């Protein structure tokens, strides 16, 4: 497919956004951009908090005539074709909370965080709750997880999902995650910062609501928020602990630039760790963007490239080597 062809397919999307995709992906732009107009497959996880067994869930779905495909690189994860979406959402396992519908890429941050059963975990931007439920299933007791959400309507959605899917013991707070580090310095072994962002990976040309408010000033505003949340999460992380920073945007300003700023401010206190995923649609973090150079360590982050099965995503793992403080004079 030529450059002209893929841009025609995505023509309703902002022209500046398409220019940026071309700069990001170069000759590979037609390959990855096509996923933005194709109907996405539907991913889901078996919910061990409620499901009697994985086999029983799959048997019920098969009995309902739904073709289910296992995800070979992630235990308990499956997908169905777009044509089976409605049947999946109408199925008994879904109604009973035995499965949770979630894009496969969205499952990666918790896998990268890899909490131990005894860990105290902070989910700093938790709504609507999919990753919180993953975390609750990984630790010894859901009460070891603290889920924070600032927006009140989204907070109630989070609470409703935790109740429905068997994680009512998860502790929740409706508050601004940017103050979490000051409230609970060094209190958590694992911290997840799935930062609010411009959500570029979820743009669909047939749905103007997905991209109606996109602009470069908003990209920069989301980047500032992401950086503040990352610093707060690092403050809340205990020395030796692990933090995962993730977004569902392609914008380097919200991804590599945020990591670079934290590395430059914190120096040897924080380090990035490598990530290894057994699927081909990925690339390392960028080392430069529009004239700005990033530290070599930023390449240890992972850009998940979009396919019909997986949305675009950005995931980085950080290890805290010592207490993180704010520089004098910063507010």
Residue 212: CB partners within 8 Å, gap ≥ 6?
none
* 150 contacts 176 by C-beta, under 8 angstroms: yes
Given the DSSP bridges, would you call strands 292-293 and 288-289 parallel, antiparallel or unpaired? antiparallel
Measured CA to CA, the distance from residue 180 to residue 154 in angstroms comes to: 18
Measured CA to CA, the distance from residue 307 to residue 310 in angstroms comes to: 5
Q: Which of 172, 161, 178, 216 has its CA nearest to residue 45?
A: 161
Q: Which of 12, 5, 8 has its CA nearest to residue 209?
A: 12
Measured CA to CA, the distance from residue 188 to residue 268 in angstroms comes to: 20
Catalytic residue numbers?
248
DSSP letter string over 71-89?
-TTSTTEEEE-GGGHHHHH
Please give the backbone phi and psi of residue 289, each rounded to the nearest 5 degrees, phi first.
-160, 120
Please give the backbone phi and psi of residue 188, each rounded to the nearest 5 degrees, phi first.
-125, 140
* 57 contacts 99 by C-beta, under 8 angstroms: yes
Measured CA to CA, the distance from residue 227 to residue 224 in angstroms comes to: 5
Measured CA to CA, the distance from residue 257 to residue 263 in angstroms comes to: 10
Q: Per-residue b/e over 77-115, b at no fewer than 16 CB within 10 Å?
A: bbbbeeebbeebeebebbebbbbbebbbbbbbbbbbbeb
* Bridge partners (DSSP) listed for residue 174: 149
Measured CA to CA, the distance from residue 173 to residue 149 in angstroms comes to: 7
Tokens of 255: 């991804």
């Amino acid at each position: 497919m030529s450059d002209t062809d893929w841009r025609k397919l995505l023509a309703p999307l902002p022209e500046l956004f398409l220019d940026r995709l071309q700069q990001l992906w170069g000759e590979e732009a037609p390959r990855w951009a096509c996923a933005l107009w194709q109907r996405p497959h539907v991913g889901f996880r078996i919910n061990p908090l409620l499901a009697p067994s994985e086999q029983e869930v799959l048997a019920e779905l098969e009995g309902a005539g739904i073709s289910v495909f296992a995800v070979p690189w992630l235990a308990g994860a499956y997908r169905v074709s777009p044509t089976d979406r409605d049947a999946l959402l109408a199925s008994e396992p879904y109604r009973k909370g035995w499965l949770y519908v979630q894009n496969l890429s969205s499952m990666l941050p918790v896998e990268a965080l890899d909490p131990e059963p005894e860990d105290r975990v902070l989910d700093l931007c938790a709504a609507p709750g999919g990753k919180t439920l993953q975390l609750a299933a990984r630790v010894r007791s859901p009460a070891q997880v603290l889920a924070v959400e600032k927006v009140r309507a989204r907070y109630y959605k989070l609470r409703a999902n935790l109740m429905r899917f068997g994680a009512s013991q998860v502790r929740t707070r409706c508050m601004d995650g940017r103050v979490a580090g000051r409230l609970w310095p060094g209190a958590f072994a694992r911290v997840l910062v799935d930062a609010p962002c411009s959500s570029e990976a979820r743009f669909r040309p047939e749905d103007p609501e997905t991209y109606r408010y996109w602009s470069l000033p908003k990209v920069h505003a989301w980047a500032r928020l992401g950086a503040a949340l990352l610093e707060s999460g690092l403050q809340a992380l205990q020395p030796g602990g692990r933090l995962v920073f993730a977004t569902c945007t392609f914008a380097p300003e919200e991804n590599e630039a945020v990591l670079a700023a934290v590395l430059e401010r914190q120096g040897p206190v924080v380090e990035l760790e490598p990530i290894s995923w057994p699927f081909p649609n990925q690339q390392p973090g960028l080392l430069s963007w529009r004239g700005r150079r990033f530290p070599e360590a930023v390449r240890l982050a992972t850009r998940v490239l979009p396919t019909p099965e997986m949305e675009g995503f950005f995931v980085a793992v950080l290890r805290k080597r010592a207490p993180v403080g704010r520089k004098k004079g910063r507010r």
